Each structure stands twice: as C-alpha cells, then as structure tokens.
Amino acid sequence: ETGVTQSPTHLIKTRGQQVTLRCSSQSGHNTVSWYQQALGQGPQFIFQYYREEENGRGNFPPRFSGLQFPNYSSELNVNALELDDSALYLCASSLVSHYEQYFGPGTRLTVT
Amino acid sequence: QKEVEQDPGPLSVPEGAIVSLNCTYSNSAFQYFMWYRQYSRKGPELLMYTYSSGNKEDGRFTAQVDKSSKYISLFIRDSQPSDSATYLCAMSYDTGNQFYFGTGTSLTVIP
C-alpha cells in the first residue's frame, strides 16, 4: 500500500505568478483534501474533492482552485500569488470525507 | 473564538515522563477526534482516531474525549526522545468534510 505523495517538495515563486501543486492519494482512497499550514499554525482547510467533484471549501478566495482526476490524484492551483501564500501545503487522502485523513509530506511554497 | 484551542507550549519533559496534551473546542457538533504528530518540516502523521466520547489506547498512547466538557486529551506514557515533535489535535462533524485543527503543542523529551 503506497502512502500519499506530493510534488514538488519545495517551490519558490514571485508575487503575481501562478503555481500548481500535485498530490497522489493513498491506494484505495477516493477523497482528497488540501490544507495550508503557515509557520507555527495548525493546518487550515482549503477544499476537498470526492470522486472528481469539489465537496466543501474553507475560507479561501477563488484564486485557490483544484482538480481531481479519475485515478483520484489531485492538483491545487493558486493564481496571482501573494506573499501571505507562503506556507506548507498539505494534501490528505481518506476513504470517506470525515474518516481519518492521511497526510503527505507537503509542498513548501515561498513567495517572494 | 477559535473552533479549537490548543496550548502551543513549548512543553519540555524528562525521558520516561507521562505527557498530557489537551485541546478544548466550542462546537458540540464535533463527533470525530484525531491526534497527529508532526516532525519539523514534515507532514502530520495520524496517531489516534476516536469517535464520540470515551478512551482509546494504542501502545504508549491514550486518547480521551469528554464531550460534556468539550475537552480532549492525549497521554503519552514512558515518553522517549523520539516523541519530540509538535502534536496537533483535529476534529470534524458527523457528516463534515473538513477537519478543524488546533495550533499544535511543541513537545521536547530530554534524554
């Protein structure tokens, strides 16, 4: 059984640019959630995808968007990057939306 | 008021000590409760998952949920230096799709 994987590990972008982060869910899991974790804070929910449809969204602006593919892998896209977008972006997969979530190692995004 | 409150610490204990980590929450609708361990610059690792009130034990770890007090705890027995990490509590609604996290408690176990 493979765990949750994320790519890239680290990323440096300039304010105003766009970024795409990728996540492969754990084998057998059809639900993927994305979180933003600022330094010294707990993860904040961005959105969740279930069977390729958005299944809930946290308090993030529309420039944060996502996709889920038929193999349940997922992408997080952020447009018009701001300095405050600098954070660790975590992907978590689960069997059902509210069941235990298993996290990937994260992508550390730095916006300069 | 935040949905989930957690003392950020830092907490420093000698090896072998019993550690108690706690979270309080404001919304009585939370039904699922989790504890994660996060090492520096890594993703959170699931330690314990419980539903509703009661206790759950797994090796050196015990999770307690007291829904009447809106209070959850994680106890670590015989703490080891490898337990040094940030511990995050998280919770969700019965049919919810997002987990609400505390800010995390930083723990250091001194050999």
Among A89, A99, A97, A96, residue whose Cα is nearest residue A43: A89
Report which residue type is found at A83: L
* pLDDT at residue B96 greater than cutoff 80: no
Q: Write the pLDDT tens digit of every residue in A7-28.
A: 999 999 999 999 999 999 988 8
* pLDDT at residue B97 greater than cutoff 80: no
- Check CB contact under 8 Å for A101 and B93: no
Q: Write the pLDDT tens digit of every residue in B8-65.
A: 889 999 999 999 999 999 999 898 899 999 998 889 999 998 888 889 999 999 999 9
- Check CB contact under 8 Å for B45 and A55: no
The two structure tokens encoding residue B83: 């337990």
CB burial of A85-111 (b: ≥16 within 10 Å; e: otherwise) equals: bbbbbbbbbbeebbebbbbbbbbbbeb
Which pLDDT band, with edges at 50, 70 and 90, does B95 fall under?
Answer: low
- Check CB contact under 8 Å for B46 and A45: no
Contact status of B8 with chain A (Cβ, < 8 Å): yes
Q: What is the pLDDT of residue A100?
A: 81
Q: Work out how many CB contacts closer than 8 A connect A with B.
A: 69
Average pLDDT over residues B57-83: 96
- Check CB contact under 8 Å for B42 and A98: no
**Chain A residues whose beta carbon lies within 8 Å of the beta carbon of residue B44:** 43, 90, 103
Residues in chain A: 112
- Check CB contact under 8 Å for B98 and A104: no
d(CA B29, CA B34): 15
Q: What is the pLDDT of residue B15?
A: 98
Which pLDDT band, with edges at 50, 70 and 90, does B7 fall under?
Answer: confident
Q: Write the pLDDT tens digit of every residue in A65-107.
A: 999 999 999 999 999 999 999 999 999 998 875 578 899 999 9
Q: What is the pLDDT of residue A28?
A: 84
Q: What is the pLDDT of residue B45?
A: 94
Q: What is the pLDDT of residue B19?
A: 97
Q: What is the pLDDT of residue A101?
A: 87
Contact status of B77 with chain A (Cβ, < 8 Å): no
- The percentage of chain A sitting over the pLDDT mark of 90, rounded to a whole number, equals 79
Select from B42, B95, B104 the Cβ nearest to the Cβ of A42: B104
**Chain B residues whose beta carbon lies within 8 Å of the beta carbon of residue A6:** 43
